[in-house]
Structure 1
Amino acid sequence: MTPPEAPAAQAGNTPPAVSVCLEVLKKRSDFLAAARARRQGTKGMMVQARHRGDDSGEIRVGFTCSKKVGNAVLRNRAKRRLREVARDVLLRDGQPGWDYVLIGRAGATVERDFASLKADLGYALKKLHGPT
């Protein structure tokens, strides 16, 4: 017996994955450079941001969660939530030519409701891009 087919997703209704919209940071040196730059903490996450100073005009983002967040299941869940928040908020409020690192917080990133996580990232971006 074959399983029933899942309903086909309508074209244009689902946003593309983060890796399609934003370039994902993978090198340790990029994460360290962001760690030396500006940072803003919120209840749901810590956001580090730096202006690269190049003309590529793309937004790059990285995600990390330490073992303080919990076991591997909780860390992966936190990173999945951060990726979804980044897709929603950074495409709208992020600035081209900047690197962002979203760091999960113990308990809060996994347990906080999704709308509050999006509001946290929006608040952090306003503070980071505001007057120095």
Structure 2
Amino acid sequence: MTQRRDYLAANAGKRAPTPGFVLLVRDRADGDTLMRIGITVSRKVGNAVVRNRMKRRFRELARAILPAEGIAGADHVLIGRNLGIERDFAALKADLTKALAKVRR
């Protein structure tokens, strides 16, 4: 996702907070089964190096988990939190799987 309006629309969707990130999921209801991903990390989390590292981790996390467990036809937004950079990658994977299960209910 690249446009601000898509992120604002996703904010009205379902929300699943975890220690490392907040997952927002909004069904687009446009008949398209394409899953879109958005990643945002604010300056409160750290400097540019820290934010970019966190975004790289989130991209890899999305590549690993979303094709199998994501919701088809929905926008998925990962919002980084302070603990996300220190959290183990396996723990982030478990958090994303649990958050997707929560949103799916």
Category of TM-score, reference length = shorter chain: over 0.9
The residue type equivalent to 2:14 in the other structure is R
1:45 corresponds in structure 2 to 21
> Among 92, 96, 105, which residue is 1:121 paired with?
96
Identity of aligned residues (%): 50
Mind listing any 5+ residue stretches in structure 2 that lack a counterpart?
A: none
- Give the Cα separation in 2 of the matches to 1:44 and 1:109: 4
Name the SS for the 1:69 alignment partner. coil
Aligned counterparts of 1:55 and 1:34: Cα–Cα separation in 2:
17
* TM superposition outliers: structure 1 runs of 4+ over 2 Å: none
CA RMSD of aligned residues (A): 0.6
Structure 1 counterpart of 2:32:
56
Deviation (angstroms), 1:79: 0.6
TM-score w.r.t. length of structure 2: 0.97
Q: Which amino acid aligns with 2:95?
A: D
1:56 Cα deviation from its structure 2 partner: 1.4
Q: How many residues align?
A: 105
**Structure 1: runs of 5 or more not aligned:** 1-24
Once residues 89 and 11 of structure 2 are traced to their aligned partners in structure 1, the CA distance between those partners, rounded to angstroms, is 25
User: 1:39 is paired with a residue of what secondary structure?
Assistant: strand
Pick the structure with more helix per residue.
2
Is it true that 1:111 corresponds to 2:91 in the alignment?
no
**1:44 Cα deviation from its structure 2 partner:** 1.2
Shift, 1:101, TM fit? 0.3
Normalization by structure 1: what TM-score? 0.78
Secondary structure at the aligned position of 2:71 is classed as coil
Alpha-carbon distance between aligned partners in 2 of 1:41 and 1:95, rounded to the nearest angstrom:
17
| Aligned equivalent of 1:79, options 55, 60, 66 | 55
Instruction: Specify which structure has the bigger relative contact order, considering alpha-carbon pairs within 8 angstroms and separated by 6 or more residues.
Output: 2
Counterpart amino acid of 2:80?
Answer: G
